[in-house]
Chains A and B, each alone.
Chain A
Amino acid sequence: MTFVRKLILHNLRMRWVQSTSIVFMVLLGVAVLFAFMLVGRGANDGLALSEQRAGAQLLLLPAKAGNYLSDTALLFSGAPVHHYMSSELFEEVRELEGVERATFQFFSQTLDASCCSASGETRLVGIDASSDWLVAPLLDDPAALSDGLADGQVIIGAAVDGFEKGTGRLLNNDVVVAAVMAATGTGLDSSIVVSADWARQLAAAIAGYQPFWELNGQPETLISAILLDVQPGREERLEAKLEALGDLRIVERSAVVAQTQQRLRAVFALLAGVAAVMALASLLQLCARYWSLSWERRGEFALYRALGATRGDLRRLICGEAFVLTGAGALLGLLVGGGLFALLLAQLSAAEAFPFLMPSIAVIALIALAVVAAFALLALLAIIIPLQRVARIEPALALQQTDIG
């Protein structure tokens, strides 16, 4: 064990309250900053990606669907909507002046490990391959949708697992994975896509869904959502026509994205404020600690000077100690920050739907590095004055001491 490490361990032991408080303060600051930066980055990326990939400009749903779900939940979270409308409505909408293109989707039950290969909660979505332009661009095999989807063929979202070998089980049926979608940061990532016809057949066989069919008609005549793009300059007129069609919930993507961005900005400003306060508190704590350290240990430093240590040697000693304490706090902080990140994500997801894209390992590593570097810089700032004080210690001071520490 090196001399410096021995001294640091001794210092930790002898002044354990102060040393632990430094480590704890750094730990807290790093954890908060790390977790907040991960949430911020994931939400930012999710929002950008969902804006880029969410596709349709307008989402039309039965009006009742909006009674208990917000627009953001409908657009981003992929919350299951068991409300249906007649497929004839789709034909009407498609024919409206100003519609650039339109497609429909049929939402079925939420799947889990009890019925399917998917281990997590997964949404089953039926699409109309002939009119779809939303799913096709996301596929790893762009040709997979060119001939439509046969019964027993599925497209899985980026976050769906359990189909690694290209096959799996879905509501007592063997299925083959035709393609995998790229991540979108939305509920599509946790969706299994099948043809709308097969989705309806599967839904018709679910005993618990009979009340839906009694209320709305047989599933083969129903759809859940219409998605459409509008010709430029026709937005207002088309919206008026859509409203005239009756009980429709119209979700405008750009408005929802803007609103979500605004909310997220407010949340992140708050998070950034908390992180800044934590960083400042850490800086003050470190300053106070090293200020007192340079006073408490001046006899020890004087002895080193008397034994031939240069001012540079003492600076290296102080820096080493500061960085070891900061490093320990930072490493522990990253671990705690990872846990805090998971907790925050769960809380934010439960409280408000927003698009989120889990940062890659490389991004997480980069953020971790940035946070640690930031706290290393704080430690450096905190020891500047103590370093100057220690460098001024004269070796003659050693004569006034007894045993050191």
Chain B
Amino acid sequence: MAIAFNTQTVVSAEGLGRSFASTTVIADVSLKLNRQSTTALVGPSGSGKSTLLSLLGLLLDKSAGHLELFGSSVESLDAGTRACCRRLGIGFVFQHTQLIGALRAIDNVLVQTHFLHAEDRKVLMTRIEGGVTTLPKRALVLLEAFGLKDRVHHFPHQLSVGQKRRVALARALLLKPPLLIADEPTNDLDAISAQLVCEALFSAAADGHALIFATHDNNLARRADVTVSLGRAI
């Protein structure tokens, strides 16, 4: 099934819920994410922020409600199409960065390109000037833009937490996905690193990405167009 990644509305959720056994983690969440929009998820630890982001990122299956990604209901997507959505439609910045220790920073940014399928190249040709052949150069540009010019060939264990978060952000932005999901992107960062990451995220949204992020930082949440509060409000 072919996905139209160029829809204006990237995510549309109605009454979304997720339970684990008898425990309901999130219930009845409705939201809509358009391109160039920014959405902040706030709520105390355990309120289901990461779970909601996982549902939107197709990492978890919902228990209730209706979810559309790029105009398609997720129920109608087979496993291959869901993987394709994760590959080309969603950039995920994980809470713990999840870089691969075996790979240098540049290779971590490029890791997704090794799973690209033949049909993905056509999509990327319309999205990135020069298509997949320019991705190594684009990875370098992103790392340089995030102040990591001299860390390109460093391994994750040679990078600080802030530097790793920026490498992870570069990885998420490499294929210019319409949806950018960030789970507590400024968590554990010093003020300068946090500022760098925030600017990169909001700049990406301005460029046409739909951005949703979870945060405990009220100042960061206030910069978003929409704030969704889960559980007890901060």
Contact = CB atoms under 8 A, between A and B. Distances in A.
Interface of A: 2-4, 6-7, 9-11, 14, 300, 303-311, 313, 394-396, 398-399, 401-405
Interface string B98-120: 11111100010011101100000
B102 A308 contact: no
Highest count of chain A CB atoms <10 Å: which of B98, B107, B114? B98
- List the 9 shortest-distance A-B pairs measured between CB atoms, nearest first: A308-B87, A10-B102, A405-B101, A308-B86, A3-B114, A309-B115, A402-B96, A396-B59, A310-B83
Contacts of B95: 399
Given A7-B102, A305-B83, A310-B83, A395 B58 contact: yes
B83 A405 contact: no
A313 B87 CA distance: 12
5 contacts: A6-B107, A309-B83, A403-B98, A403-B156, A405-B102
B177 to A, nearest CB: 10
Given A3-B114, A4-B114, A403 B103 contact: no
Contact of B99 (A11, A14, A309, A404): A404
A395 B112 CA distance: 14
Interface of B: 50, 54, 57-60, 79-80, 83-88, 92, 94-103, 107, 110-112, 114-115, 156-157, 164, 171, 183
A405 B54 contact: no
A280 to B, nearest CB: 32
Nearest to A9: B102
B113 to A, nearest CB: 8
Contacts of B183: 399
Contacts of A305: 83, 86
Given A6-B103, A310-B80, A403-B98, A304 B59 contact: no
What does DSSP make chain A's interface, helix, strand, loop or mixed?
Answer: helix
Contacts of B88: 308
A3 B100 CA distance: 11
A2 B83 CA distance: 22
Contacts of B94: 306, 398-399
Contacts of B87: 307-309
B115 A308 contact: yes
Contacts, number: 95
B72 to A, nearest CB: 16
Contacts of B157: 403
A403 B92 contact: no
Contact of B112 (A11, A14, A307, A404): A307
A311 B57 CA distance: 17
Contacts of B57: 306
A3 B112 CA distance: 10
Given A3-B111, A309-B115, A403-B156, A395 B101 contact: no
Nearest to B171: A307
Nearest to A316: B115
Nearest to A10: B102
A404 B101 CA distance: 6
B107 A3 contact: yes
B97 A403 contact: yes
A307 B101 contact: no
B1 to A, nearest CB: 14
B152 to A, nearest CB: 15
A398 B58 CA distance: 12
B96 A403 contact: yes
Contacts of B60: 394, 396
Contact of A401 (B54, B79, B86, B98): B98
Nearest to A303: B98
Contacts of B92: 306-307
A310 B115 contact: yes
Given A398-B94, A399-B54, A399-B95, A310 B156 contact: no
A307 B58 CA distance: 10
Given A7-B103, A396-B54, 16 more contacts: A4-B114, A7-B100, A11-B102, A14-B102, A303-B100, A306-B94, A307-B86, A307-B115, A308-B84, A308-B86, A313-B115, A394-B60, A398-B59, A399-B54, A403-B156, A403-B164
